[in-house]
Structure 1
Amino acid sequence: MRRLLLVLLCVAGSAAAGTPIVKVNQLGFLPDAQKLAVAPQSAGSRFEVVPAAGGKAVFSGALGAPVRWEASGETVRIADFSGLVAPGSYRIKVEGLPLSDAFTVKPDNYRALSVASLKALYFNRTAIALAPQYAGAWARPAGHPDDKVLVHASAASSTRPAGTVIAASRGWYDAGDYNKYLPSSGITTYTLLAAYEHFPRWFDRLDVNIPESGNGVPDIIDEAMWNLAWMLSMQDPADGGVYHKLTNLKFDAMVMPHLAQKEPRYVVAKSTSAALNFAATMAAASRVLAPYQKQYPGTAAKMLAASEAAFKWAQANPAVLFKNPADVVTGEYGDARVDDEFAWAAAELYISTGKDSYYTALQPETVSNTYPAWDDVRGLAWTSLAHHRDRLTPLADRTLITARVDGLAARLANEWRTSGYRVPMRASDFVWGSNAVMLNQAMMLLQGYRLNGKPEYLQASQSALDYVLGRNALGQSFVTGFGARPSMHPHHRPSQGDSVAAPVPGWVTGGPQPFQQDKAECPPYPSTLPALSYLDHVCSFASNEVAINWNAPLVYVTAALSELTPKATTAMHTNSPLDLLRRQEQLLQFDRFGNDMALDIGLRLVERAKARKQTVSVEIARNGQVLFAHGMEGAPRDHADWIRRKSNLANRTGHSSFFIHTQAVLDGLDYDAIPTFDPREYAAHGGAFPVVVRGTGQVGTITVSGLPGPEDHQLVVDVLKDYLQVKGEI
């Protein structure tokens, strides 16, 4: 009888177990996003979108042609309601089927999910009590302090013999267990850092409510720093090598972390993959931490030095492949190949140092591109090279970088286009952590979109998020706490060991995969088909575990879609000051931005000011390099400081400095004392305007100083409007 109840619990609410349903993203959509739902082949030929509370249809259309999806064995039809842009709560209606789950259409629809997916990492912190004011119902005592861990025999050296006690505190528990691993830690932390590098204005305003909130550093960087501090402690200062993991000898029981601290913990063997993951992540972190010397003094320089030392160790030890020692049975994260780690580490060090020797070590012509995973990180190298390509040295092959990024995005988009469920995954992609595969594919599609703005790349990445949130063969949201039928019983010790019925929110579970490595310990799976082989049960480490490196791409994708999805339709319905300023930023963008263009625009600004009998100073910079600078006769020296602080603000937020000024005024704030903006470094006065290249994002700033803020801003807008030949009022 108990086994029968477990089976019923596992399949309750899934589409596979009951009446066929319309599958849709159970959270919803941004107004101008592509919006798709999936209906079974047996459905009628048309669909309607109706208000969730009832009433007349607000949108209707024909279902697409039937297409079979091998991953689930289904033949399905697509309902495309992208033309529905009005905010509201809705359901999909198809004759003969129940109404779909309710979903919303609204701006900023993914902010709560973005916060929760990032805060999930806070809930997995070690060495700190999770206080009620931050953790709510999931507050708990401190996890493993790891301030006194032992050097395992496999990690022993002349300076640190076996049994040496070292401190390796902080960090995140890796997954459903209580251990910490460098390979998964590296890709997780990097993905957070890349999310901030790519979308700073999103994260500058994302309040996650963690203990560090309000310290003048974006919460995503503070959260990454909790793990970076641990990673730094895993490097042997004697030789630069890095320990592969910090672990018990065996897995803990399903109890809360403060009840699982009786067994000794060890740092285990150095490895080439650990050193290279460390080197890549620290090189990236040194760039992101550089502006925050006040909060983290000396940290950026320390990270870059540690990165170079680890890379040097890996070059001297290129094939130290990790295997669990005989007495260690926790997660191995063994990797038979490390050429991808070498490429990634070399790429990050090249970008952060500008040293051509690292680009040569990268051997870019030998490195292909694919979606990232902890054991295949070459895609991270191309992601960083593409983002920074305008500031690379002449040695870099920019054509190759573009080809690698666009080539992968094109392949994934082609799979999405022909898929029955309109997702980029093939049946063979359903492996352990399949939901992370889906989200990492979305992340690489987004790199293609940032590169060239092809709409299908953005649409395919939206579909990947839709899948995770309910538009899948099971009709289930795989994110705890989100959707009508979310995962409720993840393989996650804190969620299982506490007294709260609901699991810790914001975790994406592993997802369906056909190999069922846990079937001896679990009730029967409902199917062996790749897209249906899933159990929402705590026993299922093969399909229902959580992991930090699976959550990180969800953090990235929610931010990217929120920032990159066009907002033209909703902007047409409002005339608020911020929307008018946002419209300027959307219209005054470039297809490319070169030195010659900077010179031309700079001279136009000076001539326009001269014609108006105004005295200004002008600076135009791209990726930190000043391309044009001029102070007109009579311009005071303090213009330079105003330009520095205003351009700092535009670079950090992605908005014009006048946008931030106006936003502060509308929010009732003192624009000279905005929380998180040190007035010595940032000035919320008009005059700095972001230089945005379509498909790439912000690459620099155009800054004017010398007039009242609104006039400085308007001077830049007037010149850019003429230069870019933008018609009409803006």
Structure 2
Amino acid sequence: MKRQALCLLWLAACSAIAAPAAIKLNQLGFLPAAHKLAVAPAGAGGRFDIVDAASGKAVFSGALGSPASWDAAGETVRIADFSGFAAPGRYRVKVEGLAPSDAFAIGADAYQALGAAALKAYYFNRSGTALAPRHAGAYARPAGHPDDRVLVHASAASGARPAGTVISAPKGWYDAGDYNKYLPSSGIATYTLLAAYEHFPGWFERLDVNIPESGNGVPDIVDEAMWNLEWMLAMQDPLDGGVYHKLTNLTFDAMVLPHQAMKAPRYVVAKSTAAALNFAATMATASRVLAPYQQQYPGMAAKMLAAAERAWQWAAANPAVLFKNPPDVLTGEYGDARVDDELAWAAAELYIATGKDSYYLAMQPETVSATYPAWDDVRGLAWMSLAHHRARLTPLADRALIAARVGGLAARLAAQWRSSGYRVPMKAEDIVWGSNAVVLNQAMMLVQGYRLDGNRDSLAAAQSALDYVLGRNPLGRSFVTGFGARPPLHPHHRPSQGDGVTAPVPGWVAGGPQPFQQDKAECPPYSSRLPALSWLDHVCSYASNEVAINWNAPLVYLAAALSELTPKANNMSQGSTALDLLRRQEEVLQFDSFSNTAALEIGTRLVDLARTRKQAISVEIARNGQVLFAHAMDGAPLDHAHWIRRKSALSNRTGHSSFYVHTEVLQAGGDIDAIPTLDPREYAAHGGAFPVRVRGTGQVGTITVSGLPGPIDHRLVVSVLKDYLNIEEEL
């Protein structure tokens, strides 16, 4: 009974995990206007149906795509694309001759519970505090590892802190399935949470995950990050600014709860250049995020920035102190043979936080390529932050280079997605230890590309990465505990193993398939050596089924990003209701007259709204061919002008918003970049141009925005016009 109740509570069919269905898809579901794909075997029939999960009635039909292979799984499959279906509800995919797919939902809050659970997983991994039943439910436990009496290891000894010195370094998150704490994984995990909040503040301000700090006027994601940031601050030697690489036992603990694993002494182990630079980057980021919360965290933003600069100075004086485990330390090493990526990341974050050109020069950006992030390769984080903050950078910053790095990486990943039989951005060689984090971090960089240039393939590929982790993979398994029809039940996670609760702690991403099977001597046989099939749902499998704080962070980011960036169904669905809404916007948002002063006020409001959202846009408002307002915000590239010219030309020619034409073409199955009779060099069917209509006269001009994804450009104009015209109707 307990097992069944917990499974129902966490949406996991724990009592009997059936063999995977032949049709693989995201077992959780989709936002209404999301890109929606399922995978069927190549030998399946030629068509598919979407059926209501309760009645079995078909509500949408389509043709399966051509057979395509994915060597990582040794499979040839066909894609069912039902992106055009947006009605909220619960459904299955059916293909003749195959069992129906797992049930999935379509709804506006598709990823809210997922994002909340992925974030709350960090609370469940807190060190040094009891987890109370009112916050932890069945997973309540006593406090473990207060870490207020930690020894300085011989490898970390200095004149002022000789070996055996007792220091205090409380709080922080347990790194993974073990009870140790490491700077390299902590830095990227904490940064990713902070970046998620910087990029999508509204989503996280609405998200209450029921932690002890909830309701204190600070978003829960920032409060949770603070738990780890305070530990990280304690890992800096106050005398020289260096940073200890990890806080650990000498060996791993048994599979017990934290409070049962506190007999062995704990140590801070050797300082390293990687730890110092990682620390500097994370603290510089945190100083920006904490700045508005002086009342709750007085003086903390300034303290973090000062600590970041001290760590940078230590690393400059010690540029090649590479970490290796001392002979008596057998826990995770997180050794890194290169630190140029950490240097670039730290330099970028300090440049953004301080505005000092010296940090930008130290980054040597022209020598730094863009890659998807991992704990041992953080170059991508530097470009991610520079792209987000490009509107506030000093004139020294090469904005074209920033756009090229971020856009180029997104384009490469999107190309891999298009060519993959399973439609994922991963190649076979990307399926390594923590492969689920690989695909989630790839998705995070695809999101940066979409935010920069609005390429819809980037957003679709990011969606596919989440789909993969939630079940659209060759194993047909969700890899997130507590979510989907077949989630992991036995992760390599000491609290989940030791707590006596049948269902594991929810919200954790399992490491995922990988072919090297480093734990095969300790585990039952794997079913396959193929990269995408080599996974065990067994507590022994640290190589494929462990959890980790740095693997969970991009899941938190992606849940928010897709929820915020996927266009709302009422503006993006491919049914007639979308065109009805767009026509209604054009009908309601008309003027009695349109003056130069009105153009100035509307243009200023558009710029001010974009500034509050930390967006860089260009705006042009014209009447009867005369430009009345034009402004390019700091960070806006030259090509905004070309987009404005082409989008406004389309609106003037058709009498509709450019997003109306965009939606109309897609509804008809056309190509928005190849519309018959329209030269794409002169017209652009992308959102952002809105007709200025005067009652009794008709269209007299356009209001055009460029710089964001087309649907968001469009919504920005609609939002400002609604406010300016005092329209209360929901548009």
| Distance in structure 2 (CA, Å) of the matches to 1:695 and 1:187 | 27
* Post-superposition offset of 1:569: 2.7
Deviations 1:619-638 (A, max 9, x none): 788469999xxxxxxxxxxx
Counting only pairs closer than 5 Å after superposition, residues 128-143 of structure 1 correspond to structure 2 as: 128-143=129-144
Match of 1:605 among 601, 605, 616: 601
Q: Give the whole-Å Cα distance in 2 for the aligned partners of 1:267 and 1:424.
A: 38
Is the 8 Å Cα contact of residues 126 and 142 (structure 1) preserved in structure 2?
A: yes
- Render the CA deviation track for 1:371-415: whole Å, top value 9, x for unaligned: 000000000000000000011000000000000000000000000
For the 8 Å contact 1:38–1:471, the answer to whether it is kept is yes
Give, in whole Å, the separation in 2 of the partners of 1:240 and 1:119. Answer: 32
- Following the alignment from structure 2 to structure 1, what is the Cα–Cα distance between the partners of residues 352 and 563? 27
Query: Is the contact made by 1:277 and 1:341 (CA closer than 8 Å) also made in structure 2?
Result: yes
1:240-274 alpha-carbon deviations (Å, 9 max, x no partner): 00000000000000000000000000000000000
Q: Which runs of 5+ in 1 are unaligned?
A: 1-8, 589-599, 610-617, 628-690, 703-711, 722-727
Which residue pairs with 1:261 in the alignment?
Answer: 262
Deviation at 1:515, TM superposition (A): 0.1
The 3-state SS of whatever aligns with 1:38 is strand
Find the residue that maps to 1:229 and give its secondary structure. Answer: helix
* Secondary structure of 1:121's aligned partner: helix
Output one character per residue of 1:263-314: Cα deviation in whole Å (capped at 9) or x when no partner: 0000000000000000000000000000000000000000000000000100
Pair 1:483-2:490 in alignment: no
CA distance in 1, matches of 2:462, 2:107: 18
Equivalent runs, 1:206-217 vs 2, <5 Å: 206-217=207-218
In structure 1, C-alpha distance between the alignment counterparts of 2:228 and 2:603, rounded to whole Å: 51
Is structure 2 residue 478 aligned with structure 1 residue 471?
Answer: no
Secondary structure at 2:531 match in 1? coil
SS of alignment partner, residue 222 of structure 1: helix
- Report the CA distance between 1:698 and its aligned residue: 9.7
Structure 1 pair 207–55 and aligned structure 2 pair: CA distance change class (3 A): same
How far apart in 2 are the matches of 1:176 and 1:370? 27
Q: Does 1:694 align with 2:712?
A: no
Partner of 2:700 in structure 1?
none
Task: Note the 1:80-99 alignment, pairs <5 A.
Answer: 80-99=81-100
Which whole-Å CA distance do the structure 2 matches of 1:388 and 1:286 have between them? 14
Give CA-to-partner distance per residue, 1:61-102, whole Å, 9 cap, x none.
Answer: 111111111000001010111111101100111111111100
- Give the corresponding residue for 1:456: 457
Does the 8 Å CA contact 1:571/1:583 hold for their aligned counterparts?
no
- State the 1:55 CA deviation: 2.8
Match in the other structure for 1:717: 724
Aligned with 1:244: secondary structure? strand
Equivalent position amino acid for 2:489 in 1: M
Name the counterpart of 1:29. Answer: 30
CA distances 1:588-637 after superposition (whole Å, capped 9, x unpaired): 9xxxxxxxxxxx9898239999xxxxxxxx9788469999xxxxxxxxxx
Structure 1 ranges of 4+ moved more than 3 A: 9-15, 570-575, 600-603, 606-609, 618-627, 695-699, 712-716
AA matched with 1:504: V
Partner of 1:428: 429
Alignment of 1:277-296 (within 5 A): 277-296=278-297
CA offset digits 1:534-572 (Å, max 9, x no partner): 000000000000000000000000000000000143689
Separation (CA, whole Å) in 2 of partners of 1:41 and 1:626 = 44
Matches within 5 A, 1:321-400: 321-400=322-401
Question: How far apart in 1 are the matches of 2:184 and 2:373?
Answer: 12
Distance 2:160 2:94 in 1: 69
Once residues 527 and 23 of structure 1 are traced to their aligned partners in structure 2, the CA distance between those partners, rounded to angstroms, is: 19
Q: Return closer, same or farther for 1:190/1:14 CA change in 2, 3 Å cut-off.
A: farther
Structure-1 separation of matches of 2:449 and 2:98: 37
Specify every segment of 5 or more residues in structure 2 that has no aligned partner in the other structure, as ranges.
Answer: 1-13, 591-595, 617-704
Contact 2:86 2:569 in 1 (8 A): no
1:118 aligns with 2:119: yes
Q: Deviations over 1:211-263 (max 9, x none)?
A: 00000000000000000000000000100000000000000000000000000
What letter corresponds to residue 468 of structure 1 in structure 2? V
CA displacement, residues 456-515 of structure 1 (integer Å, 9 cap, x when unaligned): 000000000000000000000000000000011000000000110000000000000000
Do 1:152 and 1:267's aligned partners in 2 also have CA atoms closer than 8 Å? yes
| 8 A Cα contact 1:14 1:474, kept in partner | no
Residues 418, 602 of structure 1: alpha-carbon distance in 2 compared, 3 angstrom cutoff: same
- What one-letter code is carried by the residue in structure 1 that aligns with 2:724? V
- Please name the residue that 1:497 is paired with: 498
Amino acid at match of 2:475: L
Amino-acid identity (%)? 74
SS at match of 1:285: helix
Q: Mapping of 1:408-423 within 5 angstroms?
A: 408-423=409-424
CA distance in 1 between counterparts of 2:169 and 2:176 reads 18
For residue 269 of structure 2, give the secondary structure of its aligned residue in structure 1.
strand
RMSD: 3.2
Inter-partner Cα distance in structure 1 for 2:604 and 2:136:
55
* Secondary structure, counterpart of 2:49 in structure 1: strand
Indicate the residue corresponding to 1:675 in structure 2.
Answer: none
Q: Describe the shift of the 1:528–1:713 C-alpha distance in structure 2 as closer, same or farther (beyond 3 A).
A: closer
SS at match of 1:319: coil
How much has 1:718 moved relative to structure 2?
A: 4.3
AA partner of residue 338 (structure 2): R
TM-score (norm 2): 0.80
Structure 2 SS opposite 1:90: strand
Question: Take 1:109 and 1:625, find their aligned partners in 2: how far apart are those partners?
Answer: 26
Distance in 2 of aligned mates of 1:104 and 1:606: 40
User: 1:507–1:546: 8 Å Cα contact kept in structure 2?
Assistant: yes
| Residues 574 and 158 of structure 1: CA distance in aligned 2, closer, same or farther (over 3 Å) | farther
- Aligned partner of residue 532 in structure 2, secondary structure: coil
- Distance verdict in 2 for CA 1:233–1:698, change over 3 Å: farther
The separation in 1 between residues aligned to 2:555 and 2:109, in whole angstroms, is 16
Contact 2:33 2:572 in 1 (8 A): no
Cα offset, 1:729, TM superposition: 10
1:351 alignment partner, SS class: helix
Q: Distance in 2 between matches of 1:717 and 1:227?
A: 44
AA partner of residue 62 (structure 2): G
Contact map agreement 2:287 2:300 (CA 8 A) in 1: yes
CA shift in 2, pair 1:92/1:278, >3 Å: same
Cα offset for 1:692?
9.0
Q: Structure 2 matches for 1:290-309, cutoff 5 A? A: 290-309=291-310
Map Cα deviations across residues 168-220 of structure 1 (whole Å, 9 max, x no partner). 00000000000000000000000000000000000000001000000000000
Corresponding pairs, count:
614
- Whichever residue aligns with residue 694 of structure 1, its letter is L
Question: How many Å separate the matches in 2 of 1:626 and 1:442?
Answer: 21
Q: Measure, in 1, the Cα distance between the counterparts of 2:53 and 2:429.
A: 37
> What SS does the corresponding residue of 2:386 show, helix, strand or coil?
helix
CA offsets, 1:22-59, max 9 Å, x none?
00100000000011000011211111111111332111
Q: In the alignment, residue 343 of structure 2 is paired with which amino acid?
A: F
Cα distance in structure 2, aligned partners of 1:417 and 1:608:
40
Match of residue 51 from structure 2: 50
Whether the 8 Å contact between 2:428 and 2:531 is mirrored in structure 1 is: yes
Q: Report the Cα distance in structure 2 between the residues aligned to 1:529 and 1:407, rounded to whole angstroms.
A: 30
Determine helix, strand or coil for the equivalent of 1:64. coil
Contact persistence 2:452–2:707 (CA under 8 A): no
TM-score scaled by length of structure 1: 0.80
Contact 1:10–1:536, Cα closer than 8 Å, also in 2:
no
Matches within 5 A, 1:565-644: 565-569=566-570, 604-605=600-601, 622=611
- What is the correspondence of 1:235-250 to structure 2 with a 5 Å cutoff? 235-250=236-251
1:349 CA drift (Å) = 0.2
Is the CA contact (8 Å cut-off) linking 1:436 and 1:553 kept in structure 2? yes
Q: Assess if the C-alpha contact under 8 Å between 2:602 and 2:724 holds in 1.
A: no
